[in-house]
Amino acid sequence: MMKHLHDPLWRAWATLLGLGVVTTLAAALGGHLPAPVLGAVLLAVAWTKARIILARYLGLVQAPAWQRGFDAVLGAFLLLLYGIYLIPVL
């Protein structure tokens, strides 16, 4: 079991599992958090999960330039989504 702790795919899987728990907790506490905070938390978790999947499962960790490009595009897209999400709140 301990040898799995050094395997990047197992660590990625465990991190994704933990982030799923964070998403569930944020959704459960959604009524207690301001809408902009909840939206930011959920999008930040989604961005982190997408980065892990792209880096570890699709192998972009071996192509840092491509990974930076995907990170930038994904980050810009999620910022756009957050801006659209905030329109009704403002």
Domain count, the chain: 1
Residue reference for tokens 């040898």 = 3
pLDDT of residue 71: 93
Q: Report, as an integer, the average pLDDT of 21-49.
A: 90
The DSSP element (H or E) to which 34 belongs, if any, is none
Residue 89 binned pLDDT confidence (cut-offs 50, 70, 90): low
Lowest mean pLDDT among 3-7, 15-19, 43-47, 50-54: 3-7
Q: Report, as an integer, the average pLDDT of 9-33.
A: 91
pLDDT at residue 1 above 70? no
Q: What sign results for the dihedral spanned by CA atoms 72, 77, 81, 83?
A: positive
State the residue range of the domain holding 11.
2-86
pLDDT at residue 27 above 90? no
Extract the tokens encoding 75. Answer: 């980050």
